[in-house]
Amino acid sequence: MSEELRTVWWEQGAVCLVDQKRLPHEQVVVRCEGLESVASAIKTMQVRGAPAIGCTAAYGMAQAALQSPAADVAALLADLAVAKDVLDSQRPTAVNLAWATERVLAKARQLGPEADGPRALAAALLEEAHAILAEDLAMCHAIGDHGAPLIPAGGHVLTHCNAGGLATAGYGTALAPMRSAFAQGRAIHVWVDETRPFLQGARLTAWELQQSGIPLTLITDNMAGFMMQRGRVDCVIVGADRIVANGDTANKIGTYSLAVLARYHGIPFYVAAPTSTVDLSIPDGSGIPIEERSSEEVTHLAGQLIAPAGVQAAHPAFDVTPAELITAIITERGVVEPPFVPGLRRVKEGA
């Protein structure tokens, strides 16, 4: 992704997004003018990727505050609690969404008693949303710094889905170590899983890497094992939607299969994510809610029916990779190696 292309930004009262359903062929900006359109953009995946939906939801909260007719701070806090419920319910797996809405709501509760009325409080919440966006970008660059040394010179990295600039405020999580290694002059090559059924790999990751001049080869998801067996993959780096206390990690459906393959072939399997994706409130992966999406996203490709009409299709959008299959977790505060329980507590809470 070029440095100029932004994923999400605030412009004259609107939450603006580059419509990720139209990429790579068209760059169309969506202007969300209210809570309903922000929620819809998240649900329909015009914006997607855990950190990017977190940033979008933070702006959605600020916008809800600025548009609220509340006459006092207590009424504004009540409106914000409703907005948070609406936004959080759009996509259940990526914890960054609820993390971001909670951060804005907590800020409102903290500043509320001292605020000079609801308008002043709403203005402060917009500043908080700006801060979340800026911090996300900084975290992605730090993930790049920490992760780049893990990629060997001349290395072939395999990635799944899109955990690039489009999935974040910019620069990406899984793509960050690749970007940083490449920027340092290291020759690398990326195998990009197309990522059925939504094709984030083919449509978004391939496009981002191409824009950045990073050598890549697109493969269908079922080619990954073959490439590993032939010794053509040196490491796997993926993003995450939620990493729980023991290190179990939810990410795009198909990630678990890759982790099993990587273990079989003795290939390092890395997860790259900011600490906003770490959820210590859930002890292990069995507690992670898995989003079920429409079966039409499986039976149809670009609006075209590709299966027998009326056939039943399943669409779990995420799976959970057990911690034991993960070599290390790359965060903005450093690389966490097993045992993950103390390591994740340390980076999340400074414990």
Q: Is 51 in the site for ligand MRU (CB under 6 A)?
A: yes
Do residues 77 and 45 touch, judged by C-beta distance below 8 A? no
Binding footprint of ligand MRU, residue count (CB under 6 A): 17
Is 284 known to be catalytic? no
User: And the tokens for 327?
Assistant: 């070599």
User: Which of 63, 68, 90, 173 contacts ligand MRU by CB under 6 A?
Assistant: 173
Q: Is 49 in the site for ligand MRU (CB under 6 A)?
A: yes
User: Which of 163, 176, 298, 330 contacts ligand MRU by CB under 6 A?
Assistant: 163
Beta strands in the chain (DSSP E): 8-11, 14-18, 29-32, 156-159, 189-193, 216-219, 235-238, 242-244, 249-252, 269-272, 278-279, 300-301, 304-305, 318-321, 328-331, 334-336
Chain centroid to CA 347: how far? 18
Neighbour-count burial of 164, counting CB atoms closer than 10 A to its CB (0-12 exposed, 13-18 middle, 19+ buried) = buried
Instruction: Between 99 and 107, name the residue whose CB sits nearer to ligand MRU.
Output: 99
User: And the tokens for 154?
Assistant: 């001349």
User: And the tokens for 136?
Assistant: 């996300």
User: Which of 18, 32, 50, 126 contacts ligand MRU by CB under 6 A?
Assistant: 50
Instruction: Between 140 and 188, name the residue whose CB sits nearer to ligand MRU.
Output: 140
Q: Is 167 in the site for ligand MRU (CB under 6 A)?
A: yes
Interface characters, 221-260, with ligand MRU (x: CB under 6 A): ------------------xxx---------xx--------
Residue of 241, 248, 279, 319 with catalytic role: 241
User: And the tokens for 319?
Assistant: 């799976």
Chain length of the chain: 351
Instruction: Between 163 and 258, name the residue whose CB sits nearer to ligand MRU.
Output: 163
Instruction: Between 53 and 61, name the residue whose CB sits nearer to ligand MRU.
Output: 53
Catalytic residues, by residue number, are 241
Name the residues that contact ligand MRU, by CB under 6 A: 48-51, 94, 161, 163, 167-168, 173, 200, 239-241, 251-252, 317
